[in-house]
Amino acid sequence: MIDDNIQTRLTQRQALFYFGRVMKEARGLGWLIGLCLLGSLLEAGVEVRLPQVMASGIDQFMVSRAPEGVRMQGLMQLGAVYLALVLLASVLGFALAMGFNQVGQRVVERLRNHLFAHLHHLPIGYFDGNPVGRLVTRVANDTGTLSDFFTGVVANLLCDLLKLLVLLGALFWASPSLTLSVLVLAPPALLASVAFQRANTRVNRDIRRLLAQLNAFIQENLQGLATLKSFTAEGKMQAEFDRQNREYLGVEMRLVYLYMLFRPLFGTISMISLAIILWVGGGQVSRGQMSLGTLVMFVFYLKMLFAPLDDLAERFNVLQSAAVAAERLFLILDAEPEPQSGVELSTCKGRIEFKGVHFAYDPQKPVLQGISFVLEPGQKLALVGATGSGKTTVTALLQRLYPLQQGEILLDGQDIRSIQVDSLRRQFGIIQQELFLFRASLRHNVTLYRQVSEESLREALRVSRASRVVEAHPEGLERKLGERGNQLSQGERQLVSFARALVDDPPVLIMDEATASIDSLTEEAIQEALTEVLQGRTAILVAHRLSTIQSCDQILLLEHGKIIERGTHRELMELDGAYANLVRHQLEKA
């Protein structure tokens, strides 16, 4: 299971390891990365050069004793040089943004595609342990965090560090002593930045938590508004909302205080540094140890020196969360996919045999215990039993949705483990109990991504009686369904799922009947469809309706994963055991 709370900080070694793996996704982009790095170096050089141009303007022309005409001329030229450098820096800045983002976005695109394709090949059991929301966050958001990593960190952090290095070099070269005296304040500034980021992360975590809670509260109240009004609970809920809202204000104010104390710090530190420059540097100028231009240059450099320090801690934070995101992604990518090897099966005859099949999702709780049966081509099998007796598991194992643990399942006499898994699944038309429809047109819901001729589509719709659903709306097959097809009734969804399973004309039909109540008139249509659909096909039915069960060649009654009675409806009624009891109950309820 991938947990959100595994770790929030990784060691540097782990982080480097994951970044290495992320960088592997940048295959073929090495030249672009190299170009960007070169560009960053150039940009740093240019930006550091700018105040030097100013300084030489002061020293060579403003305070020099050269003839006035030469000085004027020189200043014009320097102005032009300055402008050219600024233009170069701007163009480089834009090009670098494009370059780094291109790398970042390509990597994110590739990672997303990988991850999504990989999910399609993970065993179905993986999805039982990992909630949908969490996996979606991995695919959409965590990959996004990695793109922040490229743009925010690789690009900016690298550029900042380069700039800082070049800058420090230039400063030392101009005046080592003055540089050292300015840097006296750098360590406390850095420390403050780190402390601020730590506290900031904590407060922001609380804010996110409380805000999510508050929003969930509002949303739930709106969803249950009718209930709430019927119980005249508005006042009670308002009081609860106000309490949560005030609590939220409490953390928000913590953030305000935090920013209030820390953010103005850098401005103040930089002002004090200015005072140091003027005092130490001014003394040197007055003693003739340093030129006036150099002093002014130091003043100009101040801003460049402290701005990156201000951001440094935040950048490292992004780095951390990117490493955590990367780890989560690789946890998924490293999960073992379903084996793809095996013999390709074309169309089977439909003889199904279970030999002593045992199965457990959790070793402590066996679900199937020694299931054996033979189903000849064209025969129908009904699985009957209480919820949790293992009926659905039988059908899932047949499709190899879970690996077989003990026993054998044969299709046309061939062990299903030796059959290529996709070609095995193409043999079955499946109607699940939970009818899942997609937010797309009716047509897409029936055909999905399969190439289906108009003719076979019509035929599938006719046989399944789903044409009723198509005709019920003027837009017909092009009618767009909402989330999970929610504007269709349960019965209508059932008919559409029928059509979806039949489009390929599969030799074997597996159906898990819906337990939820379907209104009686639609139910008639379903029964009609079922009769026609089952004609000539091998079928396994997890059945709840008596009429479905009665027409089957073989009925297995399951209890706690064991077959306790088997036979035809007539035989079992004569036996007058558990099955007969069940049937009587069914009638009573109706």
Partner 1 sequence: MKSRGLKALFGYLWNYRWQTGLGVLGLLLADCAQLGIPFLSQRVIDNLREGPDRLIIALIVVLAFVAYAARCLWRYCLFGVARRCDIEIRRQIYHRAIHLDLNYHSQSSIGHMMALATSDVAAVRMALAFALMSAFDAVIYSVLSISALLSIDTRLALITLLPFPLLGILMRYLLKWNYQTWDRVQQNFDELTEKARESISGMRVLRTLVQDEGDAAEFRRLTAEQYRRFMTFVKVDGVYSPTILFLSGISSALLLAVGGQHVVDGQLSVGEFAAFASFLGQLSWPMVAAGWTLSLVQRATASMDRILTLLDEVPEPVQPFLEGGFSGGLEIRDLTFSYPGGVKPALRQLSARVEPGGSLGLVGEVGSGKSTLTRLLQRLYNPPQGSIFLDGRDVLEINLEQLRQQFAWVEQESFLFSATIAENLRLGGAREGLEEAARMADLHQEVLSFPDGYETLLGERGVTLSGGQRQRLCLARALLKPAPVLLLDDTLSAVDADTEQRILKALSELRGRQTLLIISHRVSSVRDCDEILVLEEGAVVQRGRHQELLAQDGLYKRLYELQTQ
Q: Is 109 in the site for partner 1 (CB under 8 A)?
A: yes
- The first and second tokens of residue 537, run together, are 């096909």
Task: Point out which span in 57-65, 179-187, 409-417, 464-472 binds partner 1 (CB under 8 A).
Answer: 57-65
Instruction: Give the count of residues interacting with partner 1 (CB under 8 A).
Output: 142
Task: Point out which span in 163-171, 194-202, 260-268, 469-477 binds partner 1 (CB under 8 A).
Answer: 260-268
Q: Is 569 in the site for partner 1 (CB under 8 A)?
A: no
Q: Which of 460, 465, 462 is nearest to 448 (CA)?
A: 460
Q: Is 311 in the site for partner 1 (CB under 8 A)?
A: no
- The first and second tokens of residue 126, run together, are 């993986």
Q: Smallest gap, in angstroms, from Cβ of residue 17 to partner 1?
A: 25
Q: Is 209 in the site for partner 1 (CB under 8 A)?
A: no
Which segments of 400-452 does DSSP mark as H helices, in order? 421-425, 442-447
* DSSP letters spanning 190-236: HHHHHHHHHHHHHHHHHHHHHHHHHHHHHHHHHHTHHHHHHTT-HHH
What x/- string results for residues 409 through 438 when contact with partner 1 is judged by CB under 8 A?
A: -------------x--xx-x-x-x---x-x
Within 122-161, the residues that bind partner 1 by CB under 8 A are 124, 127, 132-133, 135-136, 139-140, 144, 147
Q: Is 283 in the site for partner 1 (CB under 8 A)?
A: yes
- Number of Cβ atoms within 10 Å of the Cβ of 82: 15
Dihedral (CA of 209, 215, 219, 224) sign: positive
Q: Smallest gap, in angstroms, from Cβ of residue 67 to partner 1?
A: 10
* Cα atoms in the Cβ-side hemisphere of radius 13 Å centred on 414: 17
d(CA 301, CA 272): 14
- Residue closer to partner 1, measured from CB, 98 or 165: 98
Q: Is 361 in the site for partner 1 (CB under 8 A)?
A: no
Residue of 25, 148, 206, 252 interacting with partner 1 (CB under 8 A): 252
Residue 345 DSSP label: -
Q: Is 546 in the site for partner 1 (CB under 8 A)?
A: yes
> 512 in helix, strand or coil?
strand
Q: Which amino acid is at 292?
A: L
Q: Which of 475, 472, 484 is nearest to 445 (CA)?
A: 484
Residue of 11, 215, 347, 418 interacting with partner 1 (CB under 8 A): 215
What x/- string results for residues 71 through 100 when contact with partner 1 is judged by CB under 8 A?
A: xx--xx-xxx-xx-xxx-xxx-xx--xx--
Q: Is 305 in the site for partner 1 (CB under 8 A)?
A: no
Within 508-527, the residues that bind partner 1 by CB under 8 A are 516-517, 519-521, 523-524
What x/- string results for residues 218 through 237 when contact with partner 1 is judged by CB under 8 A?
A: xxxxxxxxxxxxxxxxx-xx
- Number of Cβ atoms within 10 Å of the Cβ of 419: 21
d(CA 449, CA 455): 17
- Residue closer to partner 1, measured from CB, 251 or 534: 251
Own/partner pairs, 72-79, CB within 8 angstroms, 24+ separation: 78/53
- Residue closer to partner 1, measured from CB, 406 or 490: 490
Q: Is 195 in the site for partner 1 (CB under 8 A)?
A: no
Rg (CA), the chain: 36
Residue 557 host element (H or E): strand 554-559
Within 455-494, the residues that bind partner 1 by CB under 8 A are 484, 489
Within 261-280, the residues that bind partner 1 by CB under 8 A are 261, 263-265, 267-268, 271-272, 274-275, 278-279
Residue of 399, 464, 494, 554 interacting with partner 1 (CB under 8 A): 399
Dihedral (CA of 546, 552, 554, 560) sign: negative
- Residue closer to partner 1, measured from CB, 74 or 377: 74
- Residue closer to partner 1, measured from CB, 45 or 370: 45
Residue for token pair 């022309």 = 61
Phi/psi region, residue 582 (left: phi>0; alpha: psi -120 to 50; beta: rest), is alpha
Q: Smallest gap, in angstroms, from Cβ of residue 553 to partner 1?
A: 20
- Residue closer to partner 1, measured from CB, 15 or 469: 469
- Residue closer to partner 1, measured from CB, 202 or 229: 229
Residue 178 and residue 281 in contact, taking contact as beta carbons nearer than 8 Å: yes
Residue 308 and residue 163 in contact, taking contact as beta carbons nearer than 8 Å: yes
Residue for token pair 């913590």 = 254
Dihedral (CA of 186, 191, 196, 202) sign: positive
Q: Is 246 in the site for partner 1 (CB under 8 A)?
A: yes
Residue 545 and residue 520 in contact, taking contact as beta carbons nearer than 8 Å: no
Q: Smallest gap, in angstroms, from Cβ of residue 12 to partner 1?
A: 30
- Residue closer to partner 1, measured from CB, 12 or 133: 133
Q: Smallest gap, in angstroms, from Cβ of residue 321 to partner 1?
A: 18
Task: Point out which span in 119-127, 198-206, 341-349, 456-464 binds partner 1 (CB under 8 A).
Answer: 119-127
